[in-house]
A and B are shown apart, each in its own frame.
Chain A
Amino acid sequence: MSNSYNATTILSDPASTVAGRQVTLSTPERMANGINFAFATGNCENVISQAFADRCFITSASSYTEMAEWRVPLVSLDHDEIEYIVNYRTHGSGSGCNIRFTIDVNGTTVTSILSLSSTTNAFANNNAVITFPVGNHYYATVTMEIETGSGAEVEIFSVMGYFKRIISPIPVGQKNQYDASTFVTPFGTTRTTVNNAFTSRFAHNMIDDIGELRKRFRSLLSWSGVYSTSSTLYPNAEDAATSQIYIGVGDINSLFAYPLLPSGFENLSFDKLELHVKAIGDVDFTFFGQSLSINQASDTTISWTIFDLEIDNGELSTVGDTRLPYYKATFDATNENQDNLVSLSNARSQRYPPASSGTGTANTIIALTLIGV
Chain B
Amino acid sequence: MLISTALSLLPQKSSCNNGQVLFGSAVSSMSNALNQLNYVKFLNRTNYPIMRSAYSYAHIVNGRNYMNTRIAESDGRINKGHTESHKLISATRLVSDWIGIIAQYESGTTGQDAGSSEFSPVIDVEIGLLIDSGSGYSQVAVVDYGIRFNSADSMMLTSETSTQYSQNFMIDSGYIIPSAVPTNVSPEAPRPLYIPNTVGSYQARGERMVFNISCSDCKLKSFTTFDLYRADLS
Interface residues of A (CB under 8 A from B): 7, 10-19, 21, 23, 27-28, 30-31, 34-35, 37-38, 41-46, 49-57, 85, 87, 121-125, 157-158, 160, 162, 165, 198, 200, 203-204, 206-208, 210-211, 213-214, 216, 218, 220-223, 225-226, 237-239, 241-258, 260, 262-265, 267-268, 319, 321-326, 341-344, 347-348, 351, 373
Contact = CB atoms under 8 A, between A and B. Distances in A.
Given A46-B90, A262-B6, A37 B136 contact: no
B30 A49 contact: no
Nearest to A86: B89
B94 to A, nearest CB: 4
Nearest to B205: A7
A37 B55 CA distance: 47
Given A200-B18, A245-B68, A12 B31 contact: yes
Interface string B12-33: 0100111010111111111111
B166 interface: no
Given A165-B94, A255-B49, 7 more contacts: A12-B34, A34-B37, A45-B45, A198-B22, A242-B53, A252-B73, A344-B67
A123 B38 contact: no
14 contacts: A27-B27, A28-B27, A42-B38, A46-B89, A46-B91, A122-B138, A200-B16, A203-B13, A203-B30, A238-B53, A242-B54, A248-B54, A250-B69, A250-B71
A210 B34 contact: yes
Interface stretch (B111-119, B168-176, B179-187): B168-176
Contacts of A322: 100, 102, 175, 226, 228-229
Nearest to A343: B71
Nearest to A266: B7
Interface stretch (B80-88, B142-150, B153-161): B80-88
A55 B53 contact: yes
Contact of B52 (A23, A56, A200, A262): A56
Contacts of A158: 48, 86-89
Chain B contact patch, size range: 35 or more
Contacts of A262: 5-7, 36, 40
A31 B31 contact: yes
B68 A348 contact: yes
B116 to A, nearest CB: 20
Contact of A44 (B23, B91, B205): B91
A12 B4 CA distance: 13
B65 to A, nearest CB: 7
Nearest to A247: B69
Interface of B: 1, 5-11, 13, 16-18, 20, 22-55, 59, 62, 64-75, 77, 84, 86-95, 100, 102, 104, 130, 132, 136-138, 168, 172, 174-175, 205-206, 208, 219-224, 226, 228-229, 231, 233-234
A7 B138 contact: no
B34 A31 contact: yes
A254 B104 contact: yes
A157 B88 CA distance: 9
A344 B28 contact: no
A168 B11 CA distance: 28
B3 to A, nearest CB: 9
B163 to A, nearest CB: 12
Contact of B221 (A254, A264, A351): A254
A4 B39 CA distance: 19
Contacts of B233: 11
A262 B65 CA distance: 43
Given A45-B45, A204-B13, A214-B7, A123 B37 contact: no
Contact of B17 (A200, A245, A254): A200
Nearest to B165: A250
Given A43-B42, A265-B7, A157 B86 contact: yes
Contacts of B222: 254-256
A219 B175 CA distance: 22
A38 B38 contact: yes
B215 to A, nearest CB: 10
Given A238-B55, A250-B72, A323-B228, A50 B49 contact: yes
A110 to B, nearest CB: 19
A251 to B, nearest CB: 5
A350 to B, nearest CB: 9
Most chain A beta-carbon neighbours within 10 Å: one of B23, B34, B87, B222: B34
B228 A18 contact: no
Contacts of B66: 237, 241-242
A85 B137 contact: yes
Interface centre among A11, A14, A238 (most CB of B within 10 A): A14
